[in-house]
Structure 1
Amino acid sequence: MSKNSSTSDPKRPSNIVPYHLPRKDVDEVDLDFFGVVSLLFSTVGLIIK
């Protein structure tokens, strides 16, 4: 069996970048909200029709 050594480890702790969630602007959230509301109204309109 081979020994674990720091020279054979391909990962470099100094190059690890922590993951951050992408920041959403307020405009994007509003567009998603209006899209969902329009889908709901169109579905209700088709059911009533």
Structure 2
Amino acid sequence: MSDQSHRESRGEASVCPKCGVGALVQKKVRLGAMVGCHIWPRCDYVQMRSN
């Protein structure tokens, strides 16, 4: 298990790869799920996840 997936399984947030400051949060959206930086709109990192 990778360190990132291990942190996620324990509920710990990953650091945003774009800004290096914000934590990544998962949100349910109309098209499925996405992971984005919590300091949006200052950082606009978004990754769509498939269901």
Instruction: With the length of structure 2 as denominator, give the TM-score of the two structures.
Output: 0.19
Which structure is richer in relative contact order (CA contacts within 8 A, separation 6 or more)?
A: 2
Relative to its length, the structure with more strand (as a share) is: 2
Relative to its length, the structure with more helix (as a share) is: 1
Q: Please identify the structure whose Cα radius of gyration is greater.
A: 1
